[in-house]
Amino acid sequence: MPPPTLPLHELSLDHAYAGLGDSYHARVSPSPLPGARLLHFNTEAATLIGLDPAAADDPRFLEVMAGNAELPGGDYLASLYAGHQFGQWVPQLGDGRALLVGAVGAPRGGSWELQLKGAGPTPFSRFADGRAVLRSSIREYLCSEAMHHLGIPTTRALCLVGSTEPVRRETIETAAVVCRMAPSFVRFGHFEVFYYRNQHSRLQPLADHVIQRHFPELWQRPDRYRAWLTEVCERTARLMAAWQTVGFCHGVMNTDNMSILGLTLDYGPYGFLDGFDAGHICNHSDEGGRYAYDQQPRIGHWNVSRLVQATLPLLHEEPEAAVEIGTAILEAYGPAYGQEVVQRWRAKIGLREHRDGDEQLINRFLSLLHQGRSDFTRSFRHLSRLRAGDQGPAAGVREEIHAQEAFDAWVTDYRARLRAEQSDDASRAAAMDAVNPKYVLRNHLAQRCIEQAEAGDFGEIDRLMRLLARPFDEQPESGAYAAEPPPEARHISVSCSS
């Protein structure tokens, strides 16, 4: 029996983060948003917090989610953090356009923080307007839910509100607000700001808040800070493995965009790979390719090293001993990433058992995809059609691969490897299709949705939400969404303002 649901105004909020004190945040009232309209309501996300789906039809819900009214019991605040952006230290950042409302207890345990992104300026806006535009809001709303259904840790999204208010970016656009949800929005940068300000006494209350609420099994351990940071390190490594094996590029992996819970956080200039290019850069602002696809695992490790450095005062009172402990923590990253990524790649090509030579077989397949710029998602999805006992060209798969001679040589070895573990074609195909999505949020699909929404047609938002909620299902009526992008849409440019 499903748990009971409540109207928005009857949800119980707690404010544990606000309780840390004014050093960690600034209290801010949301800025009213004229001409607000509810563009989409995520019923699935609503059930996570026990919210009655009928809230979508309640005018008070729209007023709260637009920032035109404050939620009773809400304690609106923008949190303080800093971070390394493109490798450079920025001493103060903070929530410049997002307001934390409070945390809602989940019917099935835990809690979810609600945050309004685009709710107006805060003390951390740095002369910006504090607004989010419809374009970027649609991209975040769709992708956070798409990533969840791909099985990748992520923030969630409750609803999307549009507006008639003009906002200037490169051109005049319209404002929007996304209600984001996460167990916590604490980032690596929340710790960095106090470390670099030499306000080390503020590290422990923040760390204790995170551990007590999100790592309670570690709370009684005498080495809880070391154990916690090791867990964060390993979660981050596993997240990078998940990104790599689904072909997701974040685009702006600054430390202020890294979640302390190992969630995918802040959907700006992201992109899913189309034609596979190991060095693909999805953010045209990233001129040096720091956050290219093949650099993401390395940057994940570098970012964790910044977090560990920022928390050294928690590890030991003697600096040299703290550094030694921190170094040991960072050594957990490589094995955690390596184990997770190999396991995921092996599942993607349908191998049940671990055998010597598997990593070379996987890397050869990736190399031939790169060689021909073959479509990443389609190539893996079609690979399940191959039959282990056949000889000659792999019909139904070979057509997807542009480096066909290299593929033919690989297929011979791949079939031999499958036969070595007596692989059953039908069961292997089902297992592969359960981990290789048919549908991902390709940039051209998001762009088409944005263009329609900007013209006043919001129906594609719902169509994509429904499609991406079942990314591994065939959904033959929607097969066109699995096609490669048309030539004119293969190089859509996405920037940090997106």
161 and 246 both lie in a single domain = no
Domain boundary among the residues 341, 370, 394 is at 341
Task: Tell me the pTM.
Answer: 0.97
pLDDT-derived band at 496, boundaries 50, 70, 90: low
Q: Is 64 found in the same domain as 161?
A: yes
* 96 annotated among ligand-binding-site residues: yes
397 and 324 housed in the same domain: no
Q: Is residue 100 part of a domain?
A: yes
In the chain, DSSP finds a helix count (H) and a strand count (E) of 16, 13
- Residue after which a domain boundary falls, among 418, 433, 448: 433
Q: What pLDDT does residue 497 have?
A: 55
The 3-state secondary structure of 33-74 reads: CCCCEEEEECHHHHHHCCECHHHHHCHHHHHHHHCCCCCCCC
Whether 379 maps to a domain, the answer reads yes
173 domain-assigned: yes
Question: Tens of pLDDT along 114-167?
Answer: 999 999 999 999 889 999 999 999 999 999 999 999 999 999 999 999 999 999
Question: Do 244 and 173 reside in the same domain of the chain?
Answer: no
Is residue 114 domain-shared with residue 157, that is, in the same domain?
Answer: yes
Q: Is 97 annotated as a binding residue?
A: yes
Tell me whether residue 245 is in a domain: yes
* 194 in any annotated domain: no
User: What integer best gives the mean pLDDT of the chain?
Assistant: 96
End position of a domain, from candidates 433, 463, 482: 433
Q: Tell me: pLDDT of 345 over 70.
A: yes
- Burial per residue of 280-318, b for 16 or more beta-carbon CB atoms within 10 angstroms, e otherwise: bbbbebbeeebbbbebbbebbbbbbbbbbbbbbbbbbee
- Domain contains 144: yes
28-56 average pLDDT score: 97
Is the pLDDT at 321 greater than 70? The verdict is: yes
pLDDT digits (tens, 9 = 90+) for 247-261: 999 999 999 999 999
Find out whether 129 is annotated in a ligand binding site: yes
Is 364 assigned to a binding site? no
Q: State the residue range of the domain holding 259.
A: 200-341
The whole-number pLDDT of residue 66 equals 98
Both 251 and 379 in one domain: the answer is no
Element (H, E) at 157: strand 156-168
In a shared domain, residues 178 and 215: no
- Do 321 and 386 have their domain in common? no
Q: Is 392 annotated as a binding residue?
A: no
Catalytic status, residue 286 = no
In this structure, is residue 86 part of a structural domain? Answer: yes
Is the domain of 150 the same as that of 213? Answer: no
Residues 209, 281, single domain; the answer is yes
pLDDT of residue 489: 73
Which is catalytic among the residues 52, 75, 95, 256? 256
Share of the chain above pLDDT 90, in %: 93
- Is position 223 annotated in a ligand binding site? no
CA-closest candidate to residue 101, choices 23, 187, 179: 179
Residues 331 and 377 both lie in one domain: no
pLDDT of 498 reads: 45
Identify whether 491 is part of a domain: no
Binning pLDDT at 50, 70 and 90, where does residue 1 land?
A: low
Strands in 191-324 per DSSP E: 248-249, 271-272
- The domain tally of the chain equals 3
Q: Is 187 annotated as ligand-binding?
A: yes
Q: Are residues 220 and 295 in the same domain?
A: yes
Tokens 């979640």 belong to 259
Does the annotation list 288 as a binding residue?
no
